[in-house]
A and B are shown apart, each in its own frame.
Chain A
Amino acid sequence: MGIEEHLGDNIITTSLDKLVSWGRKWSIWPATFGLACCAIEMMTAASSRYDFDRLGLIFRSSPRQSDLIIVSGRVSYKMAPMVKRIYDQMPNPKWVIAMGDCACSGGLFNVYSIVQGVDRIIPVDVYIPGCPPRPEALIYGIVKLQEKIAKGTIKNEEPPKVLK
């Protein structure tokens, strides 16, 4: 982030790590982006019965305001460039959740047109199996992502990149 360059490794930067990670983990903003039937389940998870918002997850309508992309569905070869482009447009730090069997490994779509797992295009932090995973499973995956974010450090972090 830049501050640690001036302060070096000391007690202030470790405490700053905790503060920044705490702030990040309770304000994960996912991109409004869905691919297939898993997206229906993702919308349900955001609705009042399961309520994403209480974890600080608020869907943003622009990838440039998002921290998280939930790949909810199978990625076809035709869709792959768009998924990659949305991921590239998100500013650092950013995380990826592969939701459902298709996004994890291609699932039952072992056919000519489907990319066999979104991790062949973009790096994935959390894999959620299921066809489709229930909203509870998605929320569990997000809690796991929060745990990962809490362990993170701002040291050696890539600065936010502006894509033209």
Chain B
Amino acid sequence: MDVLFALSAIKESMPKLVSSVETSNGDVHIFTGKENIIDFAKFLKDDSRLQFDMLSDLFAVDYPKKPERIEVIYNFYSTKNNFRIFVKSRSKINEPDYPSLTPLYNSANWFEREVYDMFGLKFKGHPDLKRILNPGDWEGHPLLKDYPLRQRPPVETINFDTPGYVEMDEITQKP
């Protein structure tokens, strides 16, 4: 059983959720809408033939010239069948709300925190969505292409006494 079987099984069960498919170098990339991600992941995880029991990666890319700038890529892996599949979804920069996969896959917890830190996507349903790499009081999201190159805060503004401490309310209320 290889990944093309998984692709046919997905197309068969959820023809409406698959908007397009690309294959390259033996990998399968499936495009879908971000509102379908949860259904998609549930199917991949629970289907007895596929058993994608591991979310091995989750990251985002910023394509500044495309109308739907932000692309989020989910990398599911099946340890039972030894194949992986990539699920991609695109969205506009002013629609940062995303469904969180943390209730399904524990590994999504820190991945989603990193994507929030670097791209500003808000994962609804995440238990503890705060910055993971940058200090908690950092401004902006550095991997967005419109983040100014080499912009650094003045050294005097570093919080030396309580480093990185931010009230949880501040994070959740920021636009």
**Is B152 within 8 A of A78, CB to CB?**
no
**Is B142 within 8 A of A81, CB to CB?**
no
Choose from B147, B150, B153 the contact partner of A77 (Cβ within 8 Å): B153
At the interface, is chain A mostly helix, strand, loop or mixed? loop
**Is A77 within 8 A of B160, CB to CB?**
no
- Docked Cα-Cα span, A19 to B135, in Å, equals 46
A-B contact count (CB 8 A): 41
Tell whether A85 is near chain B: CB-to-CB under 8 Å: yes
User: How many interface residues does B have (CB within 8 Å)?
Assistant: 17
Choose from A80, A112, A116, A121 the contact partner of B151 (Cβ within 8 Å): A112
At the interface, is chain B mostly helix, strand, loop or mixed? loop
Closest B residue, CB atoms, query A106: B152
Digitize A50-92: 1 where CB-to-B-CB distance is under 8 Å, 0 elsewhere: 0000000000000000000000000001101110110000000
- Docked Cα-Cα span, A140 to B142, in Å, equals 39
Tell whether A163 is near chain B: CB-to-CB under 8 Å: no
User: How many interface residues does A have (CB within 8 Å)?
Assistant: 16
Tell whether A14 is near chain B: CB-to-CB under 8 Å: no
- Docked Cα-Cα span, A63 to B155, in Å, equals 23
- Docked Cα-Cα span, A123 to B97, in Å, equals 45
Known: A77-B152, A78-B163, A81-B160. 19 other contacts (CB 8 A): A77-B134, A77-B135, A77-B138, A78-B134, A78-B135, A80-B155, A80-B158, A80-B163, A81-B159, A81-B163, A81-B164, A112-B142, A112-B147, A112-B150, A113-B152, A114-B152, A115-B155, A121-B155, A121-B158
Which 3 interchain pairs have the tightest Cβ spacing?
Answer: A81-B163, A120-B155, A78-B135
